A and B are shown apart, each in its own frame.
Chain A
Amino acid sequence: MNEFATPALSEEIKALLVETLMLPQAPGQLVDDQPLFGPGGLGLDSVDALQIVVALDKAYGLKIKDVGEAQAILKSVATIASAVHQHRSV
């Protein structure tokens, strides 16, 4: 769990991911720090990333401007929740 986001926000992000990507898992089965991409992760790909970017914009107004920013924010549920939390605080 990261130091910024609340557990409630993390649960919200998990629900958003499951709905947006039509994942077979229940939101509660996702782990905050589990990598979303790459080995040992959820196995998401670039098309999933695109959908997450659009969903975060629609849900929270969080605009991810470039690939570098996307790679940093979309590492895990925890990093997404942190970015949303910081965006809300601005």
Chain B
Amino acid sequence: MNRVILITGANGGLGLAIARAFIEQSADHRVWLGVRSRRERADAMASEFPGACRVVSLDVTSPEAWAQAVQAVTDRDGRLDVLVNNAGRHEDSLLATMTPAAWSNVIDANLDSVFHGCQAVLPGMIHRRWGRIVNVASLSALLAPAGQANYAAAKAGVVALTHALAKETARIGITVNAVCPGYIETEALEALSPERRAAAVAQVPMRRFGQPREVAAAVRFLAGDDASYVTGATLKIDGGIL
């Protein structure tokens, strides 16, 4: 079965890995890469898979941008079956010294964005009585580490939103699930010093960081027919940390 899939934040390692997982699953899928800036890597993937993969401009914090992006997808492919809310950012600091901007920027980008995205895609999914929403939260939602009050609160909000929306849409054929990745080999970890990297690895019972494709496989499962009875779930992908 071919699906029309929109992945936000598809200019980073995790978003691109999720896109690749869907493309590898079926050449008939239509995968849309939602990006606001730094389009180069998304453009490269679209060039690699012409016809199967396209880039759409999307500032996830803007309801108007969501409306335009969903319209662009449905104009071309007739519908939108799967939304993967993957876009996010973090600005870590201790709460006592956190600026109001750092708080609101992170809440906007990680939590408000999911609200806007779900609102944008739900009318079409409700009309067709089928849909899959997968929200990429974070292990920080469950661990709430020091220095990430804004990010942890936003991602915990995503988990709660996921549970509530899953209950609202369950009988309409729309499933809503979340994944909580732990340490994954993406751009965020590349910035770690060797010492901090070693300390982080030591926290992981598997003694290694996860690969983006290992998160992507879980997202693909939750978006697929095999997960038809799974909704409101929060799946940790963390090598056993929690």
Contact surface of A with B, Cβ cutoff 8 Å: 47, 50-51, 54-55, 57-58
Contacts and interface: CB of A to CB of B under 8 A. Distances in A.
B225 interface: no
Given A47-B169, A54-B126, A58-B127, 11 more contacts: A47-B168, A47-B171, A50-B126, A50-B168, A51-B126, A51-B172, A54-B123, A54-B127, A55-B127, A57-B123, A58-B123
Contacts, number: 15
Contacts of B123: 54, 57-58
Interface string B184-216: 000000000000000000000000000000000
A7 to B, nearest CB: 27
B200 to A, nearest CB: 43
- Interface size class on chain B is under 10
A68 B169 CA distance: 22
A54 B126 CA distance: 7
Contacts of A57: 123
Interface of B: 123, 126-127, 168-169, 171-172
Instruction: Please classify the interface of chain A as helix (H, G, I), strand (E, B), loop, or mixed, using the class held by over half of its residues.
Output: helix
A67 to B, nearest CB: 15
A51 B126 CA distance: 6
Nearest to A50: B126
Nearest to B168: A47
A50 B127 CA distance: 10
Contacts of A54: 123, 126-127
Contacts of A58: 123, 127
Shortest beta-carbon contacts, A-B, top 10 = A54-B126, A54-B123, A58-B127, A54-B127, A51-B126, A47-B168, A51-B172, A47-B171, A50-B126, A57-B123
B185 to A, nearest CB: 40
A47 B126 CA distance: 10
A84 B218 CA distance: 44
Contacts of A55: 127
Contacts of A50: 126, 168
A51 B169 CA distance: 10
B130 to A, nearest CB: 13
B125 to A, nearest CB: 9
B158 to A, nearest CB: 21
Contacts of B171: 47
A48 B171 CA distance: 10
A58 B124 CA distance: 9
A47 B172 contact: yes
A79 B238 CA distance: 53
A51 to B, nearest CB: 6
A50 B171 CA distance: 12
A39 to B, nearest CB: 22
A55 B93 CA distance: 46
Nearest to A46: B168
15 contacts: A47-B168, A47-B169, A47-B171, A47-B172, A50-B126, A50-B168, A51-B126, A51-B172, A54-B123, A54-B126, A54-B127, A55-B127, A57-B123, A58-B123, A58-B127
